[in-house]
Structure 1
Amino acid sequence: MRIGIRPARVVALLVLVIVIPLSVTSVAGRFMGDRVYLLNSTPCRVVVMEQHDGHEANPGETVLIKSGFVDRTPTMMVFSGSAFWFGGLHFTTDTLQVRDQADIAIPPSWLSSSIMGKELTYELTADGQLLVKGPTMQPSMPQPKGLPLKARATPDSKQCRRG
């Protein structure tokens, strides 16, 4: 009986030391720190791929693409079906880095602030543009220099709609 207690203690200690802190950080990153979202305003389901993961956004849906504890995203690409829209993107709350282009600086006036951190939302429009969505309280402002970005393949709403 005493032999079975020791492995149970080791497993319990591993859970306390490894699993619980990782779980807390993952959940807290969704609500605390600087977060970047993507709003899909296209008629298509869009997939935002990064090196080891992907995020799906249905039409009208907003997804978290950079959690609060990450400084910047890894290289990201945006697809719809087999159409490649954007690639070589790195998101932060200060800049949008695009491969083979100068960094696009995001003015602080575009950020939404809360007690838990700052938020920034990018929008994919129905005509295939990536732009920054301003805070809801602000009147419409001109896009930062370098935006909007135009998709390589324009979304075709006939191919996106489900029958």
Structure 2
Amino acid sequence: MNEYTRPSLRNIAHSAAALAGLTGAIGFMALMGVFGPVSCWTSQSGSGEATSSGEVTTTTSEVTRGCGAGIDYLLGSAGGNAPVLFFWAVVLIGLVALGGSAAWAGHRRITWVTALVGAVISVIGLMSIGWYFILPTLFLLAAALSLTIDAHRSADRGPSAEI
């Protein structure tokens, strides 16, 4: 294998950044409701009439159900968790855009910061929103790790070794 066909660490970082962008875009679309509703809710209310002695004569129970996604917040029907889902969708796409472009440009510290923020969100929100952050975060971690190893290898070679 010569040096042109062997994958370099920079190419691995580029591939990981592209995969982070792809999985982040899919997660964004899922949170916005492209693939169907994200969360469903049920509301129950009761009403009744009371007599002068305090007895309830009639009771009516009403159950309301609905499902929502992040796009519902933009369309004006912000019932349920629509504002929260929209917020996390924007956070996800922003984090992936920043981390992916930083990895593509070779800025390893910014890539590490975005990967660690994604990891914190994934762990804290593991039972809810964190699942949408796991794959993009893993790809950003791979990109950050490959950029770091590449930087250490370049430093070990020194300026005279590149002649």
TM band (smaller chain): under 0.3
Identify, as 1 or 2, the structure richer in strand: 1
- Name the TM-score, length of structure 1 as normaliser: 0.25
**Structure exhibiting the larger radius of gyration computed from Cα positions:** 2
How high is the TM-score relative to the length of structure 2? Answer: 0.25
Q: Looking at both structures, which has the greater relative contact order when contacts are Cα pairs under 8 Å and sequence separation is at least 6?
A: 2
More helix by share: 2
